[in-house]
Amino acid sequence: MQAAWDCGVRYFDTSPWYGLGLSERRFGHFLHTRARDDFVLSTKVGRLLSAAPKPPATMWHDPSPFAYRYDYTAEGVRRSVEDSLQRLGLSRIDIVYIHDLSPENRDMGDHWTTYFDQATKGAIPELTRMREEGTIKAWGLGINTPQAALRTLEIGDPDIVLLATQYSILHHDEALEQTLPALARRGVSVVVGAPLNAGYAAGRDRYDYQGTIPPGMARKRERMSVIAQRHGVDLRTAALQFATANPTVAAVIPGARNAAQVQANARSMEVAIPAAFWSELKQKKLIAQAAPIPSQI
């Protein structure tokens, strides 16, 4: 986090889910020493934590000793925000995302619509009230598939959507043609999560959060990497800049597990990528013809 701050990063995203409260505690430990108006912070609602002798099996390494349950009610949202403020030790949260309402969520599967119905009556109107009260500045959804965001446009007025795994240099057609235009028409901005497809665009053999590499993706990455090398750029740098080029995108959160990765990501945003690189990707149909590309200044 110090490396991110030193590189000029001022938007930080966390969640009660990450490490079962551990992420929020770590973020707060660092950020509480900074002037509150100098950064933007988002966290999420939808899971409530409770003390437990042993945490349940999750993807997290050494999580906090908490169990979790889903709760998208108005009361649950209020409590979740208050609990997050306690863990963070901060005076306010800027953005609150309704988290993981998605068929891709293994806990929910096809039952995600039941939880969405709960959010329709609870989380969505309650976050709107909290925004009107000034308790938060903005609200939206943090999801890995677009269905919940598009449904929310029909019943609410979100400000922002954290859309993960949907808009990247390797995978973007549906988001480019449907999801982002629908959000843009309502003035909803987007934060792109997993712009590197969980490290795949940076050379890791892991694709998104489920781990299964789609058919043909290895060949696509190889072709892109060869073109990038020919133009003197690496694919990770191109992927980060690609995700920021869409005018609906307000920020990207690529993630980093150490200071070196943070610094490498920051340097990537300063690289001037030749226009010929993007032209060749479009010519060879490796990115969509209509995809916005970084402007050359």
**Cα diameter, the chain:** 58
Q: Report CA-CA distances (Å) from 168 to 164, 165, 238.
A: 9, 7, 10
Q: Are 41 and 31 in contact (CB under 8 A)?
A: yes
Query: CA-CA distance, 16 to 75, in Å (whole number)?
Result: 16
Beta strands at 160-164 and 138-143: parallel, antiparallel or unpaired: parallel
18 is catalytic: yes
Beta strands across the sheet bearing 11-13:
11-13, 40-45, 95-99, 138-143, 160-164, 189-193, 249-253
Q: Are 68 and 6 in contact (CB under 8 A)?
A: no
Using DSSP, how many helices (H) and how many strands (E) does the chain show?
A: 12, 9
Q: Are 209 and 194 in contact (CB under 8 A)?
A: yes
| Catalytic-labelled residue, pool 11, 18, 207, 209 | 18
Q: Are 19 and 63 in contact (CB under 8 A)?
A: yes
SS (H, E, C) 132-151: HHCCCCEEEEEECCCHHHHH
Q: What b/e readout covers 204-225, taking b as 16+ CB neighbours within 10 angstroms? A: eeebbeeeeeeeeeeeebeebb
For the annotated catalytic residues, the residue numbers are 18
